[in-house]
């Protein structure tokens, strides 16, 4: 963006302040904030005769919203007293400027995000892809299991509302109960860790199906985010619905801190997918944290590898998007069989596929999205105090030190 702003204050024209105030009425519909707040207005010129010039920097060349933004600027500024004409000049941001705008958009979204029960300290990771059937759900459940095996508490949100598959893949069934008008996820113990799972599959019994059928998809996803009692979580993994449209954008709006792991397959014809992925991230102003390649080389029992679906797609996509390739999961019947049986391969300690997911979990924990340390954290402290008060038992070791007032108010 070219700064500083150039302004010629005219005796007859409106003040720059008035023009900027009017420009705050122009919302970038994709980014969900006004163009002044987003830093997209790079210059305002006001001539003596009431002609106003506004420079707007767009996030991408050929932005489909260019015409709309231009018209909105003309309408809003044109309505000001003393304005005779409005001319809008659009330019395109460079990568650095775009990053700044995206960061601002995330901040704005954070302010507007609805209240959820997802703990502040939980890392939220959406498993997404540019196309369907690449193994999002398989990756989600196996990564969740691999994280839980390390003693972590992992929420799994099956956001594929109508095409849900998580209950089957994890071999879980049951009905969601409500506590304080919130849905309580179903739990499954895995090693020292816990999975807390919510899926439409736990709600779609006769009675509830009637209740849900009328809901539009977006509303259902919203409910899944707002009205769930998650409790303490280290990670929340979201199995994203297929496609890169409104639902994904809506999800992003609701949990702006979401980071995306993109699942792709080996064929290098990934250009299109890369573009779609980048576009999805842009629309949702989400951070893409890494790429996972699924259905990579199949190794037969004799040790020979076959690149059945080609190779290089994951590395290529990662390079295109500018993020690390954090794992390659071989194409193997055991992945499908484990899913069908409700026993994900990531449970089979000592098996190569289990190790693959364990390594992905490790890189998530150590580099991609390190777990937020809760040791001595006031949130856990409050939980302990509350539990102790409820049970009448004395506080355990770490809570022996009375919480400082700052601890009690900092969260
Ligand atoms: N690495 C793999 N090896 C063999 N089959 C796989 C692998 N990953 C996924 N599958 C199978 O591919 C199909 C699609 O996977 P799924 O996880 O449902 O994809 P998505 O959620 O992206 O639609 C399923 O039948 C699944 O068992
Ligand atoms: Mg799926």
CA 132 to chain CA mean position, Å: 18
What top-level class would CATH report for the domain 116-368? alpha beta
**Local structure of residue 115 (DSSP, 8 states):** P
Beta strands 298-299 and 305-306 are: antiparallel
Q: What does pTM read for this prediction?
A: 0.71
Q: For 4-51, how does the pLDDT look when each residue is reduced to its tens digit (9 = 90+)?
A: 444 444 457 899 999 999 999 998 877 778 999 889 999 999 999 999
Give me the phi and psi of 253, to 5 degrees please.
-60, -40
Q: Which two tokens stand for residue 9?
A: 């204050």
**CA 288 – CA 395 distance, rounded (Å):** 41
**CATH class of the domain comprising 16-110:** alpha beta
User: Ligand 1: which residue has its CA nearest to atom 3?
Assistant: 331
Give the dihedral of Cα atoms 325, 329, 330, 331; nearest 10 deg: -120
The ligand with the least distance to the CA atom of 266 is 1
* Strand residues in 139-185 grouped as ranges (E): 153-158, 177-179, 182-184
pLDDT digits (tens, 9 = 90+) for 212-233: 555 555 677 778 888 899 998 9
Q: How far is the CA of 134 from the centre of ligand 2 (A)?
A: 8
Which residues, judged by CB distance below 6 Å to any ligand atom, belong to the binding site of ligand 1?
Answer: 129, 132-138, 165, 294-295, 329, 331-332, 335-336, 339
Q: What is the mean pLDDT of residues 176-187?
A: 88
Nearest CA to ligand 1 atom 9: 135
Average pLDDT of the chain, as a whole number: 80
Copy the structure tokens of residue 67: 């015409």
Q: Which of 339, 352, 357 to mutate to test the pocket of ligand 1 (most atoms within 8 A of CB)?
A: 339
User: Structural domain boundaries of the chain?
Assistant: 16-110, 116-368, 378-409
At 242, the pLDDT band (50, 70, 90 cuts) reads confident
Given a cut of 80, is residue 127 above it in pLDDT? yes
Q: How far apart are CA 42 and CA 91, in angstroms?
A: 9
Q: Is 335:353 a contact under the CB 8 Å cutoff?
A: yes
Q: For 251-298, what is each residue's pLDDT tens digit?
A: 766 888 888 899 988 876 655 766 676 666 666 667 888 999 999 887
409, pLDDT greater than 50: no
Q: Decide which of 268 and 375 is more confident.
A: 268
Nearest ligand to the C-alpha of residue 131?
Answer: 1
Residue 295 · residue 267 · CB < 8 Å: no
Among 140, 202, 197, which Cα is nearest to 175's? 202
Task: Please state, in angstroms and as integers, the Cα–Cα distance from residue 298 to each residue in 135, 266, 294, 358, following that order.
Answer: 15, 11, 11, 19
In this structure, what are the phi and psi dihedrals at residue 43, rounded to the nearest 5 degrees? -160, 145
Q: Provide the 10 A C-beta neighbour count for residue 150.
A: 17
Q: What is the pLDDT of residue 59?
A: 81
Q: What pLDDT, on the 0 to 100 scale, is given for residue 235?
A: 96
Closest CA to 267 of 312, 334, 320: 312
Task: Give the distance, in angstroms, between the CA of residue 216 and the centroid of all CA atoms in the same chain.
Answer: 20
Residue 411, C-beta contacts closer than 8 angstroms, at least 6 positions apart: 120, 377, 378, 379, 382
């Amino acid at each position: 963006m070219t700064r500083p702003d150039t302004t010629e204050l005219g005796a007859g024209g409106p003040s720059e302040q008035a023009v900027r105030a009017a420009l705050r009425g122009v919302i970038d519909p994709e980014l969900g904030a006004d163009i002044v707040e987003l830093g997209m207005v790079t210059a305002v010129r006001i001539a003596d005769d009431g002609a106003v010039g506004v420079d707007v920097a767009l996030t991408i060349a050929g932005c489909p919203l260019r015409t709309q933004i231009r018209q909105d600027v003309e309408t809003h500024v044109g309505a000001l007293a003393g304005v005779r004409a409005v001319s809008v000049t659009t330019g395109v941001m460079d990568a650095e400027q775009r990053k700044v705008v995206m960061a601002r958009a995330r901040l704005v979204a954070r302010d507007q995000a609805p209240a959820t029960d997802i703990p502040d300290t939980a890392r939220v990771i959406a498993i997404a892809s540019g196309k369907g059937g690449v193994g999002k759900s398989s990756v989600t459940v196996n990564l969740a299991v691999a994280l839980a095996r390390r003693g972590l508490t992992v929420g799994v949100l099956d956001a594929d509302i109508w095409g849900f598959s998580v209950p089957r893949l994890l071999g879980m069934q049951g009905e969601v109960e409500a506590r304080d008008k919130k849905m309580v996820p179903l739990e499954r113990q895995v090693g020292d860790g816990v999975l807390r799972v919510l899926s439409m599959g736990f709600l779609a019994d006769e009675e509830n199906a009637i209740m849900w059928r009328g809901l539009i998809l977006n509303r259902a996803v919203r409910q899944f985010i707002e009205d769930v009692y998650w409790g303490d979580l280290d990670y929340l993994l979201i199995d994203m619905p297929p496609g890169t449209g409104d639902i994904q954008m809506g999800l992003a709006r609701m949990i702006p801190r979401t980071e995306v792991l993109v699942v792709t397959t080996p064929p290098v014809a990934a250009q299109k997918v890369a573009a779609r992925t980048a576009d999805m991230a842009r629309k949702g102003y989400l951070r893409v944290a890494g790429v996972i390649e699924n259905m990579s080389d199949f190794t037969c029992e004799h040790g020979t590898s076959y690149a059945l679906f080609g190779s290089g797609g994951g590395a290529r996509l990662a390079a295109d998007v500018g993020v690390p390739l954090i794992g390659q999961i071989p194409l193997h019947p055991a992945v499908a069989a484990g899913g069908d049986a409700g026993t994900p391969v990531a449970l089979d300690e000592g098996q190569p596929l289990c190790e693959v997911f364990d390594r992905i979990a490790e890189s998530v924990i150590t580099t991609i999205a390190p777990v937020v340390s809760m040791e001595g954290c006031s949130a856990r402290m409050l939980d302990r105090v509350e539990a102790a008060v409820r049970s009448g038992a004395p506080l355990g070791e770490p809570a022996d030190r009375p919480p400082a007032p700052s601890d009690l108010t900092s969260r």
